[in-house]
A and B are shown apart, each in its own frame.
Chain A
Amino acid sequence: MTSCLEFRSLFHAGTNDPALLEHLRSCDPCLDYAAHLDPDVMFRAIGGEDLVPPGGVDAFVEDVMRAVHVRSKEDVVESHQVLSWPRRLAVAATVAASVVGATLVYQHERTPLPVATQIAAVTSRPAAVPVKLATKPVVETYSSSDATIVEVPSESAGDTKIVMVIDDKLPADL
């Protein structure tokens, strides 16, 4: 521990001696003395010692650990939710349904319609009008001998698009 006498004999402007700085931070008369020799020490006198947060270190640490536990639990819940089996099954089912649906659409578009079921309602075919579908077609299997199918050919040969099915016996849910 440096005494005031020692401090005043050893102190010089710009000193970085930890012992002198420690003394400076605990002794007001020496701070006043040093401030006249080295104005820089004025603000340096504020620093030095470690401080205790309001409420004390124990309460502070408790608060931090509580916050950390809450965060850890949230992380566990989040990761659990992401990996839960019902969610996985739901995702798998959705993907499977999408694949099956897409396959059916693809196969349906590639298969030529049976000639017997095609009744040419339009003898003179109008010029091809590009048709834009607002929604994707729903594909169902349906067979009937009474159905009238109105078709509009597209520009490429052999690629027929069915746009209307007229049938009195058409099931309501189709």
Chain B
Amino acid sequence: MAVELRLMIPTRQAEPDDRELVQTIREGDELAFEQLVRRKTSKVYALCYRIIGNAEDAKDISQLVFIKLWENLEKYDPQYAFDTWLYRMVTNVAIDFMRNKQSRENAVNSNLRLVKTEAEADQGVVVQRKEIEQVFEDVSASLSPKQKTIFVMNQMDDLPSSEIAKILGCRESTVRNHLFNARKTMQLQLQKRYPEYARLWSAE
């Protein structure tokens, strides 16, 4: 009886996983691609936003990533995790964008960054999330696009260095090296611009 009852319970159709969706898209199903875009939009956009630091640019870059995804889906090898492949595409496009942007803006922005007064710096530190975002944007501007990307993936997306190495196609030691240098550079920038935070945050 118990078995009969179980059989009568309507089973919910399981959502196809990423690999199955890709297979369906390869067979020409555009709706499956739409489903994949919808599923990955928030993750892709969040990573782009944290690397680029500007909502509109991050949106454009995310869209470009999905268009590239559509054009290169044939190259995806299902024996690897789809997210690793997707993140590689995101980081490549975002790093390219950052490199171009940096070369355009470096000269213009170098003298425009905020420096807090000593009086402000002496006040007790209360961590404000929005302010941290602003601080991060300011001090991470001095990182190379690759350093920033690795820092964001490791510190904000909680990806281990082994996973980042897979995404970027490099050695784990290279990732750790980039992380160390990123922290060092950011600490220097913090000391210059935000001394109250520099006391909190120190490089290893």
Contacts and interface: CB of A to CB of B under 8 A. Distances in A.
Is B truly associated with A?
Answer: yes
A10 B76 CA distance: 41
A152 interface: no
Interface string B128-151: 110011001000000000000001
Contacts of A51: 42, 45-46, 49
B45 A71 contact: no
Interface of A: 16, 18, 21, 28, 31-32, 35-36, 39-40, 42-55, 57, 60-61, 63-65, 67-68, 71
Contact of B59 (A45, A49, A53): A53
Given A28-B128, A53-B58, A21 B34 contact: no
Interface residues of B, number: 40
Chain A contact residues: over half helix, strand or loop, or mixed?
helix
Given A16-B158, A53-B55, A65-B30, A60 B127 contact: no
A44 B62 contact: no
Q: What are the nearest 5 A-B pairs in CB distance? A: A47-B156, A50-B42, A51-B46, A39-B201, A53-B59
Contacts of B112: none
20 contacts: A16-B158, A35-B125, A39-B200, A42-B127, A43-B132, A43-B155, A44-B155, A44-B156, A45-B132, A46-B136, A48-B156, A50-B43, A51-B45, A52-B42, A53-B41, A54-B59, A64-B63, A65-B30, A67-B67, A71-B67
A42 B197 contact: yes
